[in-house]
Structure 1
Amino acid sequence: MDERWDHQGFTFDDASTQLPRLLRNHNHSQTARMPIIPRSSYYDKNYKQSAALIRARQPFLLKNIATGAAIFAFTISVYAFTIKAVSQDEFSDVKVPDKPTEPARA
């Protein structure tokens, strides 16, 4: 049987025995030290922005603020237009039913 080894020492000689070999060869001490989410160099150990990230984002700050303000203004203008258009509706052509009559007493 021809066994092939990958870079971590797992064998992949037979598909039916692949999982047990992976579990047997797994080093649990490495798993305990690995973070759940890999950290970027732009964040410190508490996932706060580093000075490098703040410097990298600085040129885009004004454009991002202007874009956000434009989107906000557009949203508010659409909302205001809709409220104004609905408030101008006239319902004089809608027939309102008369007051209900009392049922006959027996």
Structure 2
Amino acid sequence: MVLEHSRYQDPRTWKMTPAMIRARQPFFKKNLAGLGALLLVTGGIYVYTYRFLNKDNDFADVPIPPIDAQELEKLKKEYEKHKQDARKN
């Protein structure tokens, strides 16, 4: 049977019996320390990867050419027209 009765669980509530709690007690601190170590390693890898991937200075040395006022106005008008067209659709 799939849900056979275990002598370490209460058959009505499926909670651990005092015997099971006593049997697990010596391992609690070691298990907690292992969990902490796993979380630290996982978190460290995540933070290292996140910081490494966010170093995006590929185009920092490329100079940006200056733009004159007429060109800027033209680009603004194109942008506004594009926004209005997007709202209509």
* TMscore range, shorter length: 0.5 to 0.7
Q: From 55, 79, 82, give the equivalent of 1:88.
A: 55
Offset, 1:36:
5.1
* Unmatched 5+ stretches in structure 2: 63-74, 79-89
**How many residue pairs get matched?**
62
Structure 1 or 2: larger helix share? 2
TM-score, L = length of structure 2: 0.61
Secondary structure in 1 matching 2:59: coil
Offset, 1:77:
0.4
Letter in 1 for 2:39: F
- 1:67 has 2:34 as partner: yes
* Unmatched 5+ stretches in structure 1: 1-34
Offset, 1:91:
2.4
TM-score, L = length of structure 1: 0.52
Identity of aligned residues (%): 34
Offset, 1:75:
0.6
C-alpha distance in structure 2 between counterparts of 1:36 and 1:87, whole Å: 49
1:52 counterpart residue number:
19
RMSD: 2.2
